[in-house]
Structure 1
Amino acid sequence: MVVEKNGQVLAVARAGMTGEGFYVDGSHDMNCCRRQAKVNSGGTKEMRAVGLKSIAMLIGVFALSLQTAIAAGLPFPDLEVELAELDSDHLRLGRDHATLGLERVGPGLSRQEVEEWLGSPVSRDPQEGLMHWQYNVHFPVAGGTSELVCQYMVVFGADEVVSSTHWRRRFCETLYQSRVVDIPSEDVEVVTLSADVLFGFGEAELTREGQEELRRVAEQLKAKYEDAVITLVGHTDRIGSDEFNLKLSQRRAEAVRRQLTGYGLPSDSMVAEGRGETEPVVSCRTDDLEDLKECLKPNRRVEIEVFERQ
């Protein structure tokens, strides 16, 4: 059974499923999406991962845990689905965040105006004199190979105008802020770290030197920002296949995110993504592999983009 109850999500994978599509907080453990996982992005209190063996199949059970944002206690709908009922469809389908125009919705808008901007909500739930409209919003993650479905709520007061808006999970709000909110370039700090310092060539495991470098970065960010939105972007050189480089860049960004979390930065304030070899800063021409690796060194990097949450 796949159960989502009171903000806790259980994702059950059937035999033959790969691990793709499961993510936690933007890493390759997060529950999402629209590939194999078929579980939405409800907020949870704890995260547990349990593997159960049977004679015929291996069933992975993931109780995915992510901190809720200010939306805690709001009537976001839960799901309960028998395992036997899972098929190729998804438990929740979201609308593309880029087409919704959520930035136009705020206090003071009427119900009619909200529906004109966002369309009909997935649910309308009256509670304690307020009306709650829920929308499912999806974001591409993991280099666009999967999508995370987030729950977004618009609350109307007794006067039938918007009193507040909420994301069920803080991580979804972080995704939204990092991809949609227009932040002046002068307010965005970019820290570029050499992947050759952080990792071995072609690897995604942090070196000891890389760990120390990230410790220094974490201390600086904690001292400078009260509530930062942090985007971690992995880049590679052009050596190797496009697919390998894209996956490597994603794994490296996620490794940096996990390490920064260990150094005290909130996990739900960070988004990790990989862009492979698509954004080089230098171009090199040489037939010697070692010379090429040295020349392409600036392309192997992790960029940390930071701004104060709006």
Structure 2
Amino acid sequence: MNAIEGIKNMRASLKGISVVSLALALAACGNISHDVAKDGRSAGEVVWPAVGEVTPMHKGGTFPNLSNLRLMRSGLNKQQVSDLIGYPHFSEGIWGVREWNYVFNFRKPGSDEVTVCQYKVLFDDDKLARSFYWKPEACADLLKDAAPAPVPVAPAPVAARKPRVLSADALFAFDSAELAPAGKGSLDEMARALRDQGDTLRSVRIVGYTDRLGSDAYNRTLSQRRAEAVKGYLVAQGIPADRVTAEGLGEADPVKGCEEAAHGQLIACLAPNRRVEVWVTGVE
């Protein structure tokens, strides 16, 4: 083997090591706690993110719905958790996300004093919630106050088990938030179905997603603009604006992972991740 061939082999080996290292780093970036168990019921070390590192939209934390927070329990999937207490308040990463972190504010009855608490959910390998933590631990006592007796109402809202998934590529031009004519046609059909529900329609939650290309901040902004565009069109078609919400989650929760490839091939492979999900809550 001559010197040039040796250098080429060394470069190839280093490149392979770099790719493996990058893959491992990305897979782990969704967890800050150490050694999260496969069953999600424990961690070698529970680590908390700094409160000041929340995403801009969650700056200062949120005031949770206590009734929903009391419904948190083992076995809920990520969508059910988000329906109860929202999506995590930190940039949790892309792959291998096994924990969600929150900053919650609680106001003492009859007082303007606010208690700030951190809340953590650990998931198992099947992305089901299994264990829950508070910082400080005394925050758990804030949920022990007796909840007010429920007022009988009928019937209860029922959320769709699965969302209507719309391809962002069918709704928008690539890297754009302006609805295409074909996309408007798909939304016309959806608007008719929603109007047919009449007063039984309780809420329409629109969630926009992008692929992993581009920065996190850019992708969140693009996905938010796309979700808002879909909301605006549905409202223009007669869906009550106070029943429609729009949220952009950027590259979170990808439905397909793709290996690195030529730019055009990678864009095509990542197409399923560029989507808009529409969750409808009605009454049975």
TM tier, smaller:
0.3 to 0.5
- What is the TM-score normalised by the length of structure 1? 0.43
Higher radius of gyration, 1 or 2: 2
Give the number of the structure whose residues are more often strand, by fraction: 1
Give the number of the structure whose residues are more often helix, by fraction: 2
- What is the TM-score normalised by the length of structure 2? 0.47
